[in-house]
Amino acid sequence: MDEYTHVVIDKNNVGLDVLRQRIRERGILTAEASGYQLAAGSIKLEHHLHVFLWDSTLAGQKGRMKIIVGSALNTTFTVRVRCPHFTKDGIFFSGTLQGDNGHNGPPKGISTNGAWGYKGNIESRFCFIEGLHTRDTPGYEGWERGDGWP
């Protein structure tokens, strides 16, 4: 099962522990679902409808680290996601993950830079929250398989 990483940034200074708890309770929500208002340009690109993730390729790792390093100290954490609902475009079907390649439009196609958009919310049971979960958390093996937390 492929693993993806979401970077959480505390833009409103509510505290990382509060954000961790919210994700534990509600999962990773789109901007629309969380009531967060994006700029008109981001709405045009449908960013308010997607959760953005990084894959484990070198490009994905670099992109993720660029966000973390470019953020103020102690304002970010990551969420590792293993979800059986994630698919990429195939010959006969469109995947649930679409590349966020910096083009002028909504996420689409295969990612060329390691960035992916998932249209919708991600259930908390598929989220390994840095600073909250560990390998010793009961149910880790099931999460690692992609079954989610119990």
What would the pLDDT profile of 54-91 be if each residue is shown by its tens digit? 999 999 999 999 999 999 999 999 999 999 999 998 88
CA-CA-CA-CA torsion for 43, 130, 111, 103, nearest 10 degrees?
30
Q: Confidence class of residue 40 from pLDDT cuts 50, 70 and 90?
A: very high
Residue recorded with tokens 């059986």: 84
Provide the mean pLDDT of the chain: 96
Answering whether pTM is above 0.75, one says yes
Is residue 126's pLDDT more than 80? yes
**Distance in angstroms (rounded) separating the CA atoms of residues 125 and 107:** 24
Number of domains in the chain: 1
Q: Is 42 left (phi over 0), alpha (psi -120 to 50) or beta?
A: alpha
Kindly state whether residue 148 falls inside one of the protein's structural domains. Answer: no
Q: Does a structural domain hold residue 73?
A: yes
Structure tokens at 123: 């259930």
pLDDT at 103 over 80: no
Residue 150 domain flag? no
How far CA 141 is from CA of 77, 136, 138, 147, 148, in Å, comes to 22, 9, 8, 9, 9
Task: Confirm whether 47 is domain-assigned.
Answer: yes
111 lies in which domain range?
4-138
Res 96: pLDDT: 97
Q: In this structure, is residue 16 part of a structural domain?
A: yes
Is residue 142 within 8 Å of 149, Cβ to Cβ? Answer: yes
Domain assignment present for residue 147? The answer is no
If you average pLDDT over residues 38-48, what whole number do you get?
94
Residues 6+ apart with CB under 8 A from 35: none
